Structure 1
Amino acid sequence: MQATALSPCIITDKVAASRDFYLRHFAARVTFDCGWYVNLQFGSGASLQFMAPQPEQPPCNPAGLTYNFCVADVDAEFAALMASGLTPVVPLEDHPWGDRGFAVQDPNGVVLYIYSEREPAAEFKPYFRD
């Protein structure tokens, strides 16, 4: 298979709250919104959908689900998100595997890990592939 795009869709009773959260905190752009289904675009190439439960698709239980957002300046993003009233569920810190990051949660309980890449520690360098 040669996928041309990949994007997650969360089945939730919180479609409007999810849309508003990502618009406010993550500069998402709405590309489709019919009320029970919304498509959000992030920059170029990343998208996320939220859909109200349907008879054949019950609400998602996002426990254990994390979305990773790579950003140019994680410290600036941390400051902005904290100033907007969000609370980290993972503190801002450097990690030896090659990033500096923190995490918050969306209205559905999805963990959003926001990070910037850093030089990995020597013990992690052998695990990187081109």
Structure 2
Amino acid sequence: MNVQSTTISLTVADVASSAAFFQGHLGYRQQMAAEGFVSLARDGTGVDVVLLQQGSEALPEGQRDQLASGLIIAYTVTDLDTELSRLNDEDVPITLPLQEEEWGERLFQVTDPSGVVIQFVEWSQGSGPPA
């Protein structure tokens, strides 16, 4: 298999609000857009994001009314405190406050207007995600 890129597609209640959140607070830029659809990309990340309007006929019938839930988009960053401060300055609600786990992970979470959970992670020096 030769994977050229990775995209996560999320069904959301409000494409415009979610797109504005990803662009305004997470550094994404719009690649394409149409009625009920936005494709977003960001330099330096390995994953693009597509936002689809709930109820869209582009989705299989059994999935049209299911919203993105139960998943977390996690971004590993090099300065978690700076990201936390920046998002606080932008009045983004922190939905899971800063936590430090015993295995060396520091993290906090925000949630976009459609309920998509975004986690920011920093690993203590010499540690990393569990194998």
- With normalisation by structure 1, the TM-score equals 0.82
Q: Indicate the residue corresponding to 2:9 in structure 1.
A: 9
CA contact (8 A) 1:38 1:51 kept: yes
Q: Return the offset for 1:100.
A: 1.3
Asked whether the equivalents of residues 41 and 48 of structure 1 are also in contact (C-alpha less than 8 Å), the reply is: yes
Structure 1 vs Structure 2: percent identity of aligned residues?
A: 24
Q: Distance in 2 between the 1:95 and 1:5 partners? A: 31
Inter-partner Cα distance in structure 1 for 2:84 and 2:19: 20
Give distance in 2, aligned partners of 1:13 and 1:67: 17
How big is the shift at 1:65? 1.2
Which residue does 1:51 correspond to in 2?
52
Distance in 2 between the 1:12 and 1:60 partners? 8
Aligned residue-pair number = 125
Q: CA RMSD for the aligned pairs?
A: 2.2
Q: Distance in 2 between the 1:120 and 1:88 partners?
A: 27
Match of 1:71 in 2: 77
User: Which letter does structure 2 place at the counterpart of 1:50?
Assistant: L
Residue of structure 2 in register with 1:101 after alignment: 107
Q: Which has the higher strand share?
A: 2
Q: TM-score, normalised by structure 2?
A: 0.81
In structure 2, list runs of 5 or more residues that go unmatched: none
C-alpha deviation, 1:97, in angstroms: 2.5
81-90 or 112-121, which deviates more: 112-121
Q: How does 1:107-126 map to 2 (within 5 A)?
A: 107-119=113-125
What amino acid is the match of 1:10?
Answer: L
Query: How many Å apart are 1:117 and its aligned residue?
Result: 1.8
Instruction: Report SS of the residue matched to 1:24.
Output: helix
Between the aligned partners of 2:31 and 2:42, the Cα distance in structure 1 is 10
| 3-state secondary structure, aligned to 1:89 | strand
- 1:36 is matched with 36
